[in-house]
Amino acid sequence: MADTSPPFAKPPVDRLPLEGIRVVEFTHMVMGPTCGMILGDLGAEVIKVEPLGGDSTRRLLGAGAGFFPLFNRNKKSIALDLQTAQGLEIALKLVASADVVSENFKSGTMARLGLDHATLSRLNERLIYVSHKGFLPGPYDHRTALDEVVQMMGGLAYMTGRPGDPLRAGSSVNDIMGGMFGAIGAMAALAARDHPVHGTGRGQEVQSALFENNVFLVAQHMMQFAVTGQPAAPMPGRISAWGVYDVFTVRDDEQIFLAVVSDTQWGVFCKALDMPEWLGDVRLATNNDRVRARDWMMPLLRSRLAGWTANALSEVFEKNGLPFAPITRPENLVNDPHLLATGGLAPITLPDGPRSGQTSSTVLLPLTLDGKRPAVRLNPPRTGEHTRLLLDELGYGAEAIEALKASGVTN
């Protein structure tokens, strides 16, 4: 089969830090796959175990349509019927060769299959077992959790929406960050196992959870209450800490975010926009003065800026080192000049859906290693794309592989 992996925009990192680490994942949706993607991007060999019909995430519509191709790059796919003795046997052989197992199924699912931590750690004492759950063990751990569920119960929806109108954040923030913490925990456990001086030589269980992740996200607002004694107001209704820190509607109904967050910036701002009378106004002398003056200052400022274009304001703010941001839609980021210039995007081949086989751009991890972005080495796999390869590595001969396929154990 021809290699369809995308070319590198820049030379790849010479040796990725997790090279030589094998991860076997039993995951779907976002949280578990994010963990595997991060480990894979950092060099691990990640083997995704899918049902014969493929991960159901491949077939999601609407807001879920991008889940599979984004979070499953740099992985190999093997399709198995884990309800059969032979399918489970293959999975256990993979686990025996693994450093990390990652799963994000409902509590009890892995135990029913004989793939829980207690069982697998007896098979492989060096195994690190990462569970991604809705809640860490406790009174809530029997509940079914979703990103939106924990945003509502964990204060994030309250902080995002207008007062009285809770609103989920515009991304799967807890699923993604929960997967990140799963990956961080896995790397910490690898370090504990393999440290040259005090390594234990043994694996351990790592747990990451949506609810606890969400609480971590709102911890700044919890601490605000501890420090001030005043409950944090929802972000749209908060008292701004700065005099100018707002979205402005300008010419042709364009929008732009502008900020002035220090007294030095205020002086630069007034001079750049030719407003000497405001620079000399004692009522606006300090940032706190401007916060107290927002009721009358902001309507005047909005009126003054309404005739500007967003591009013209961007040029003025960039020239003078002032904070600004155009209001950008996600689909437009694929043409962002900074992302293009810095190698933040990479081509992949879509594995499923109406555009299967077509090339698209994906977003790389937001970090560099030795000045280079960890790249896409493997496209998001087709269902069972690497089944034959992996079975061959496990010692199954050609006849045995064909027999497994004929009996419906593999695809």
Do residues 326 and 349 share a domain? Answer: no
| Rounded distance between C-alpha atoms, residue 89 and residue 250, angstroms | 64
Q: What secondary structure letter does DSSP report for 321?
A: T
Q: What is the pLDDT of residues 257-274, one digit of tens each?
A: 999 999 999 999 999 999
Sheet of 205-209: strand order equals 75-79, 45-50, 22-26, 100-103, 128-133, 205-209
Note whether residue 249 is domain-resident.
Answer: yes
Do residues 316 and 384 share a domain? Answer: no
Domain of residue 309, residue span: 240-330
Note whether residue 233 is domain-resident.
Answer: no
Do residues 198 and 292 share a domain? Answer: no
Encoded amino acid at 294, one letter:
R
Q: What phi-psi label fits residue 77: left (phi over 0), alpha (psi between -120 and 50 degrees) or beta?
A: beta
Domain harbouring 255, CATH code: 3.30.1540.10
Do residues 257 and 200 share a domain? Answer: no
Encoded amino acid at 278, one letter:
W
| Rounded distance between C-alpha atoms, residue 312 and residue 386, angstroms | 52
Note whether residue 30 is domain-resident.
Answer: yes
Global pTM?
A: 0.92
Note whether residue 11 is domain-resident.
Answer: no
Do residues 115 and 207 share a domain? Answer: yes
Domain harbouring 191, CATH code: 3.40.50.10540
> What residue ranges of the chain have pLDDT lower than 70?
1-13
Q: Is 82 helix (H, G, I), strand (E, B) or coil?
A: coil
Q: What is the pLDDT of residues 270-310, one digit of tens each?
A: 999 999 999 999 999 999 999 999 999 999 999 999 999 99
Do residues 52 and 184 share a domain? Answer: yes
Is 356 in contact with 348 (CB distance < 8 Å)? no
Do residues 92 and 162 share a domain? Answer: yes
The CA-based dihedral angle spanning residues 299, 304, 310, 314, taken in that order and rounded to the nearest 10 degrees: -100
pLDDT of 360 reads: 96
Do residues 290 and 181 share a domain? Answer: no
Choose the final residue of a domain: 295, 330, 365: 330
Cα distances (angstroms) measured from residue 359 to each of 1, 147, 302, 396: 18, 29, 43, 34
Note whether residue 112 is domain-resident.
Answer: yes
**Who contacts 29 (Cβ-Cβ below 8 Å, separation ≥6)?**
57, 67, 104, 175
**Who contacts 122 (Cβ-Cβ below 8 Å, separation ≥6)?**
none
**Who contacts 325 (Cβ-Cβ below 8 Å, separation ≥6)?**
256, 257
The number of domains in the chain is: 2
pLDDT of 341 reads: 95
Do residues 348 and 326 share a domain? Answer: no
Do residues 356 and 326 share a domain? Answer: no
